[in-house]
Amino acid sequence: MLDAEDAVVATATGAGKFQVRIETGEHSFLMDEPVGYGGLSSGPSPFDMLGAALGACTLMTMRLYAERKGWVVDGLSVRVTHRKASPEARDQFERLIHFQGVTDEQREKLLSIAERCPVHLLLERGADVTTSDTDAELPGAEGGGLHEQVIDELCTKAA
């Protein structure tokens, strides 16, 4: 049973037309658009962050699984490519995973567990998004450990 909730807060900085400050439970960073699109290029774009989320989650899930199996994995890296043919077309993400120091059996199992990373599953299944407004000050960002709980549960089920 998952019992956590994560929240982030995005606030316009007033610098450039796209720059926003993102606040999470423990971290803050800028997001922006490239200069060629009218941004200041002061941080990754939203689509960059979505690709980064998929790549990072894939690595975290594979590493946790390998650790639980007692496997020593020398090197892992993931390259995520995002494509979209038109505004109406489905988005396409391609993951290219580089393994170093794994057996063929470990590689096969790690590729299988990559398909179960929480961000991959979210993108595959879709998500429900609701919108409302408030006149009150927004509550602060908070990390409740939702992602960590989902990874843990998926790796436990796969073991």
Quickly name the fold that domain 45-127+140-158 has.
GMP Synthetase; Chain A, domain 3 (3.30.300)
Would you state the structure tokens that stand for residue 123, as one six-digit string?
A: 């993108």
What is the average pLDDT across 2-25? 88
CA distance 68 to 62: 10
One-letter amino acid of 48 = D
Whole-number average pLDDT of the chain: 91
What is the average pLDDT across 123-151? 87
- Checking if the pLDDT of 71 tops 90, the result is yes
Res. 118 pLDDT band, cuts 50 70 90:
very high
CA distance 47 to 158: 29
Q: What percent of the chain has pLDDT over 90?
A: 75
Res. 17 pLDDT band, cuts 50 70 90:
very high
In the prediction, which pLDDT does 4 show? Answer: 64
In the prediction, which pLDDT does 149 show? Answer: 81
Non-local CB neighbours of 102 within 8 Å, separated by 6+ positions? 71, 73, 74, 110
Other beta carbons less than 10 A from residue 33's beta carbon: 21
Distances (CA, A) of 28 to 1, 10, 11, 47, 88: 29, 10, 11, 18, 32
> Sheet containing 28-31: which strands, arranged edge to edge?
9-12, 20-23, 28-31
In the prediction, which pLDDT does 7 show? Answer: 85
This prediction's pTM: 0.88
What is the average pLDDT across 79-105? 94
CA distance 20 to 29: 8
Higher pLDDT, 130 or 147: 130
In the prediction, which pLDDT does 108 show? Answer: 96
